[in-house]
Amino acid sequence: MPTFESRENGLDSSAGGGGGGWAALSFYDRYSQKKQKRQKKHKQDIEEIKQLPETDKEIAKLLHKQLEREDRNKEIAELDLLIQSSYSKRQARKAKAYNERVGKAYLKAHQEGTFSAIEKFERELDRVIEEDEFLVLAMAVLG
């Protein structure tokens, strides 16, 4: 199985993947946590911008928007690294077994490597993870 060599991007080969499951999930979980922290920081920045005097507000908004775009490009690059470095036919089968739509998006993102294909993979994986979390929560409430 391929390993993730890029520690500066937070993808570290020591983080699981050898347990027979789909390797990308453990790495995606850490990616998702980092993404949530960045989103929280962006929200805090927006609140700080609102407190600025009008003369500084427009410049701060433009700068913030640029930084947000740069962060998003970094996120997509991280996901692309995850996809390209983890991809194998075996991992593609595991992704498809995890969820049909996620598996298709994983394959397409690997083959095309485009911004939109990688975003689609991210959306599909987020959707399935959210559904799983909802099911676990519903079972806890009902059980």
The model's pLDDT over 17-52, given as tens digits with 9 standing for 90+, comes to 344 567 778 788 888 899 999 999 999 999 999 999
C-alpha span between 113 and 90 (Å, rounded): 19
Residue 52 lies in a domain: yes
Q: What is the pLDDT of residue 21?
A: 66
- Cβ contacts of residue 106 below 8 Å, gap of 6+? 24, 83, 87, 91, 92, 95, 96, 121
- Quick one: average pLDDT of 62-71? 94
- Evaluate if residue 4 carries a pLDDT over 50: no
Q: What is the pLDDT of residue 80?
A: 95
Domain that includes residue 53, residue range: 22-142
In which residue are the tokens 């676990």 written? 136
pTM of the model: 0.74
Residue 86 lies in a domain: yes
* Total domains in the fold of the chain: 1
Buried b (16+ CB within 10 A) or exposed e, 124-134: bbeeebeeeee
DSSP state of 114: -
Residue 138 lies in a domain: yes
Task: For residue 66, give Cα distances in angstroms to 32, 59, 60, 76, 121.
Answer: 21, 11, 10, 16, 24
Residue 5 lies in a domain: no
Residue 32 half-sphere exposure, CB side, CA atoms within 13 Å? 14
Residue 12 lies in a domain: no
Residue 105 lies in a domain: yes
- Evaluate if residue 63 carries a pLDDT over 50: yes
Inter-axis angle of helices 54-86 and 115-142, nearest 10:
90
Residue 101 lies in a domain: yes
Q: What is the pLDDT of residue 8?
A: 35
